[in-house]
Chain A
């Protein structure tokens, strides 16, 4: 059990050793597992921007204009919502190579409550043309994210959670790429697309479904934009039905992206397991996951529904 936050921090440190143009900007996150490994080795390439997220994003734009590779880290609520105008105007429209890293995303801000629990960040970032989105599901995938994000010719948003999460399976660093996904489990009964912490829940759901005679195929959609379309479509052709699970609002997230892909390329029943257009509240992340219906149980329930409506 390790967090995606510290996974990304490890990848960042590795990247810092081989590239001297990487600059880490952060909004008062010194001492966190994401910044510390890089900052302790490369203090001259680490900038604490304080609680000034809007200034941090514009500063990152300036660095990128000069050819540096800025990675800007802040809690996702403030990075994507407060500084949205700066992200849109100074990074997305000019198509600058900046990596934005939103931490404490989804329900993982737990006890901090609704303001800090960011379940709209993917919707905001997806709406920006040219913005790519990566959501690693565990420590290993997260430690592989920094390099492809940084090498991508355009802005990238990386979404991370706060708490330790179980490992979702073996992962080769080279598998992590913009537009990629990974097939975790093969099956021909139902496609389960998931990202972030919901990958683990999807795997649990698949075990239960197999006991009921439904072989679930589990895809870790770690890249939400651009979607791993071929991987998803080839799975839909075999299964004829799909459940999408994500720790995000139902509106604007992976669920809508997969549903839109299916609707235009291969219409099959698609159901979503997500936060159903509500705000969060204080509680431990695990309690909240139960309360808002983001567990394997909901995935199993929806899978049984779409399976009975499957179209092959």
Chain B
């Protein structure tokens, strides 16, 4: 990837992060840390990988994306708004009564959302259906899933992983946002690399990547989709909860699900502004 391209993506990701801080702060709801961890994955997908038309959200030939990372819908919404699927103003009504942006994504309400999301462990099954439909119509579409690593604990997810190893599902790519909380690491034995073995046991191809590094993501996604007759691809993307906002990164949020208070929000925005300024200065010389 060219340095200029990378810089553009990084700038976009910073702007998305600011919007996430604002929307969770304004609505006093939504998980900041799990939203921030998945930002770079979504930015890469929506600006580099996915074939979509923001002014025509239901364009039949688009790539599909099923997003089911629980608690992280602010990231998806901020990305969709910045990509032009709907007005950024909608972000400030997130989770309000009657809002377009519900606590969990709803395809009937929000342009750019392809499938109901937010319930753990169901995205890969839905993605299978999206792919099956295109197979029956004789066009090989691509379907992407973005899920949270905590979903790998859901039994129903593995039903879908097993069923997707049947022929025909090579167009499926699942990006796992692996931002494992320290507590979960001790509670669930064999996290991390065993995820690779689990997917491989079902025949899937697996790539590991730094989920905050656009070059890594590019390299991993170059392998999607497989040759005809191949297996789906799982990308295990290591991420940091709260990435970009130090108070959230350190896990010093009082409660992970609790949004920042007014002071915390202003502090987080200052930090992100500073990062933007540094990036601008870095370009000058």
Contacts and interface: CB of A to CB of B under 8 A. Distances in A.
Interface of A: 23, 44-45, 47, 49-50, 52, 54-55, 57-68, 70, 85-86, 89-90, 93-95
Nearest to A96: B116
A62 B132 contact: yes
A57 B125 contact: yes
Contact of A59 (B119, B134, B163): B163
Contact of A95 (B108, B125, B131): B108
A60 B163 contact: no
Interface of B: 106-108, 114-116, 119, 122, 124-134, 136, 156, 159-160, 162-163
Given A58-B122, A68-B136, A85-B119, A94 B107 contact: yes
Contacts of A60: 129
B156 A54 contact: yes
Nearest to A70: B129
A54 B129 contact: no
B160 A58 contact: yes
Contacts of A89: 116, 119, 122
Contacts of B132: 23, 47, 59, 62-63
B101 to A, nearest CB: 16
B136 A52 contact: no
Given A54-B159, A62-B130, A86 B108 contact: no
Contacts of B129: 58-66, 70
A59 B114 contact: no
Contacts of A67: 133
Contacts of B159: 52, 54-55
Nearest to A65: B115
B238 to A, nearest CB: 27
Nearest to A86: B122
> In this complex, which of B126, B129, B163 has the most chain A Cβ atoms within 10 angstroms of its Cβ?
B129
A61 B133 contact: no
Contacts of B115: 61-62, 65
With most chain A CB atoms within 10 A of its CB, the pick from B106, B107, B108, B128 is B128
Contact of B133 (A52, A57, A68): A68
Given A45-B136, A86-B122, A89-B116, A52 B163 contact: yes
A94 to B, nearest CB: 5
Nearest to A66: B133
A60 B115 CA distance: 12
A55 B159 CA distance: 6
A90 B126 contact: yes
Contacts of A55: 125, 128, 156, 159-160, 162-163
The 7 A-B residue pairs with the shortest CB-CB distance in the complex, in nearest-first order? A62-B129, A58-B125, A66-B133, A55-B159, A52-B159, A59-B129, A54-B156
A52 B158 CA distance: 10
14 contacts: A23-B132, A52-B162, A54-B159, A55-B159, A55-B162, A59-B126, A60-B129, A62-B115, A62-B126, A62-B133, A63-B132, A66-B130, A85-B119, A93-B116
A23 B115 CA distance: 19
Nearest to B137: A66
A299 B271 CA distance: 75
A90 B163 contact: no
A94 B107 CA distance: 8
